[in-house]
Amino acid sequence: MSARIAGLYAITPDLADTAGLLSRVRAALAGGVRVLQYRNKTATPGLRLAQARALQTLCTEFSVPLIINDSVDIAIAVDAAGVHLGGDDGDLAAARTRLGPDKLLGASCYDRIELAQTAIAAGADHVAFGSFFVSAIKPGAARPPVGLITQAKQQFNLPIIAIGGITAQNAPQLIAAGVDAVAVISALFAAPDIAATARELHLLFEARHEKKSKAL
C-alpha cells in the first residue's frame, strides 16, 4: 500500500457546516496531520458523501490519505485511501473484498489483543486501541493500559494507533511506548489554534524520529 499510517491521525468532528469543516481540516493539515479520518455520525447520507468528496480533494492537495469511518460505499465513491470499521460497523473480510488489496483497512480493537488478531486475519492492515484516557466523545469506553501498545508492537508487524482523550501533554507516553500514530479529535479541532496544536503533536513524532536517528 502506498499510504502509511504514522504520526498525527486526525478524526473530524461532527459538523454540518461543510465550509467550517474544511477550514478546520485545512488548518490541521497545514499543521502536520499525516492521516485524516472522516467521521460524522450525525450527517445525512447525502451530506456525508458531499463532505467526504470535499475532504478527499483537500487531502489530495496535502498528499495525506483520507480514511472513511464506517462506510465502504463512500470510500469507493470518493476514491478515499481506505476505511475504518468499529466493532459494530460491518464485516472486515467483506470490506477487504470490496476495497481490494491496495486500500487501507483499519479496525477498532478497544482494549483487546484478540480483537486485533481477528481483525488482521480478516484483512485489516492497521489496528486502533483505546480509549487510553478519558474521552468526551466516548466517556464509557474501555481504558487499556499504555503497556498494551508495547505488547501489540511486539506481536504485530503493522501500524498501531492509539485513540481516546489524547493531548499534547499525554501523547508522549504513548509515543514512548512505540505507537505509530495517535488519533485526536477534540484536543485538535476544539483548540483555539488548530494549526499550532497540530504542529505541537506532529513535532512529538519528529522528536522521536530524531532521537532514533541519533542512536543509530
pLDDT over 70 (residue 2): no
More confident residue, 213 or 7: 7
Quickly state the pLDDT bin for 210 (edges 50, 70, 90): confident
The mean pLDDT of 150-155, rounded to a whole number, is 96
Decide if 16 contacts 42 (C-beta within 8 A): yes
Please state, in angstroms and rounded to a whole number, the distance separating the CA atoms of residues 206 and 55: 25
Confidence (pLDDT) at 211: 72
Q: Is the pLDDT of residue 178 over 70?
A: yes
Q: What is the mean pLDDT of residues 163-171?
A: 96
Judged against a pLDDT cut of 80, whether residue 47 lies above it is answered with: yes
Which pLDDT score is estimated for 4?
85
Q: How would residue 1 be classed by pLDDT, with cut points 50, 70 and 90?
A: very low
Q: State mean pLDDT over 34-40.
A: 97
